[in-house]
Structure 1
Amino acid sequence: MSVPPPPARPPDLRLVAVDMDGTFLRTGSTYDRGRFAPLRRRMREAGVRFVVASGNQEAQLLGFFPAAEGPAPDGVVSDNGAIVLADGVRLLETHVPMDALARVLAVLDGDAGLTFIASGPDGAYLRESETPEMRELLTFYHPRYQYVARTADINGHRVSKIALVDEHGFTQAFLDRLSEALDGAMVPVVSGHDSVDLIVPGQHKASGLGVLLDHWGLVPGQVAAFGDSGNDAEMLARAGYGIAMANASAAARDAADFMAPANDDDGVLQVLEGWFPAD
């Protein structure tokens, strides 16, 4: 079944939530800043909040919106819903229980060659043994980090998410095996072809967005959400207007009501320009 394009701007729209990689951002992690700035002003004038919702670290997400270019997002849902920021104040900090974390790290440490970074409310933790290429990649998405000598040294820290990366991608067989080994301590979700996030059970972008809605007195029917990956599916399904990108995965498309142009065609900006036209 084909997914229709987004409708005209919903009259009850009060919040726009966007995933970043593969959705708001083009390939190469850029967006048209000059094009977005006036859109952001018009959204604020219309009383519509702007929220970014991502598996990435809060500091990385805020770095895309420097103060010199305009106001920060009204809300940030980071680490796949485990950390939530509203108007510059953290409303939620969630981390996996320490005994569960120890079990997860033991599983990961037993898989030779697996590359990962653990992230939480206090920053990220990266093994010194990772290759320079992987260090550069992982710290781009997690700019607040510290090195640890061994996997076991991550124990005792507050961890909300563990990002696994493999340039060749992850097979379903691997995900099934990993999920069985974790036994519910953390939940694997696909965040891109070459990456999988392990998240706190029950915490995802939709739950993080729900914290913001409660804080601002809004309801899901007043939300438009954009996404492209499996870790966006809950958010797309819960929003009143769930919008998948043309480059979205099957899981995101199945959860969405509408489809926008691809991220490399600035699909989010195209939709927003239709909803918030210049006078």
Structure 2
Amino acid sequence: MTIKLIATDLDGTFLRDDKTFDISRFNRLLDQMDHQNIKMVVATGNKVEQTLQYFKHAQTDRLTYISSNGAMVSDTKEVLYKRPVSKDQIKKVLDWNTQTRAKMENLIILSGIEAAYVSNHATPEMIQAVEQFYPKVIQVEKFLEVEDDILVMELIWPENANVKDFVKVLRQTFGEELHTTGSGFGSVSILAANTNKETGLAALSRIWQIKPEEMVAFGDNSNDLEMLRYVGNPFVMPNAEEFMKERISQQAHADNEHDGVLETIEKLLADQA
């Protein structure tokens, strides 16, 4: 089957641990992919603004971005697809948080298309920490009065908190209405139901008329699994944890520190030339 689309996760996959990659090599591959009519897609949990910073020395207008773990798909000109959390759902989570957080205070971030929103009660230190991940941060008095499409609700507890317990309770509380996932850094992300990197690729499949079996994807972690299982040619990184290698048998030709994604793409393009 001819390859028509290549998608890659960023952290632990395309990017080295210091958040860099071989820009010249990547731009050469983009030229070759253009020649072979192959789309290049970046699929990440990051907001698109943060993602663009990683590619500021590359040719960003030649890429398409699945950001916020699939809640939005865009290029540098327009939003192609979005899956926001409704205001009613936001209110339900805020009410749940009010009842729960008394045991341990947390920070709420509403990540929208235009900006990230935090409470007026957030301290300057909190704002500074949030700005490391969100280029534009706005303090608001009432979350429900924010006029923006909210892609992700972030609930951030101290790093020593066991967020797995919060994730479990949120999933029990909201069932299939919302998609809840956690990290090891005290953060819980809440998205619209059935939102992940696969749904972003499925949107592009409809828009571009590209079949899943004509797609390649690279990933290293559990939030990549839906995407990897969706495409016809999935690659897990050698540096991924063992549970990922058990689920996806095909590995990239090198780990993220040694440009494994670029190395593998080169071989795929050569085989298809």
Please indicate the TM-score interval, normalised by the length of the shorter structure. 0.7 to 0.9
**Aligned-pair distance for 1:53?**
1.0
Residue 228 of structure 2 aligns to a residue whose secondary structure is: helix
**Aligned-pair distance for 1:197?**
2.1
**Aligned-pair distance for 1:155?**
5.8
Task: Report the equivalent of 1:52.
Answer: 42
Note the aligned Cα RMSD (angstroms): 2.8
Name the CA distance, whole Å, in 1 between partners of 2:235 and 2:137: 33
Correspondence 1:172 to 2:161: no
Correspondence 1:78 to 2:67: yes
The correspondence for 1:69, drawn from 58, 66, 69, is 58
Residue 164 to residue 275, structure 1, CA distance change in 2 (3 Å): farther
Correspondence 1:13 to 2:3: yes
Q: Could you tell me the percent identity over the aligned residues?
A: 29
List alignment gaps of at least 5 residues for structure 1.
1-10
Residue 119 of structure 1 aligns to a residue whose secondary structure is: strand
Residue 57 to residue 74, structure 1, CA distance change in 2 (3 Å): same
Name the CA distance, whole Å, in 2 between partners of 1:185 and 1:36: 39
**Aligned-pair distance for 1:262?**
2.8
Name the CA distance, whole Å, in 2 between partners of 1:39 and 1:29: 19
The correspondence for 1:101, drawn from 54, 75, 90, is 90
User: Contact conserved, 1:14 with 1:222, CA < 8 A, in 2?
Assistant: yes
User: Contact conserved, 2:110 with 2:152, CA < 8 A, in 1?
Assistant: yes
User: Contact conserved, 1:23 with 1:262, CA < 8 A, in 2?
Assistant: yes
| TM-score, normalisation: structure 1 | 0.82
| TM-score, normalisation: structure 2 | 0.83
Higher helix share: 2
What one-letter code is carried by the residue in structure 1 that aligns with 2:211?
A: V
The number of aligned residues is 265
Task: Report the equivalent of 1:29.
Answer: 19
What pairs up with 1:1-279 in 2 under 5 angstroms?
12-66=2-56, 69-86=58-75, 88-109=77-98, 110-111=100-101, 112-130=104-122, 135-149=127-141, 152=143, 157-165=148-156, 167-168=159-160, 170-190=162-182, 192-194=183-185, 195-249=187-241, 252-260=244-252, 261-276=254-269
Name the CA distance, whole Å, in 2 between partners of 1:131 and 1:245: 39
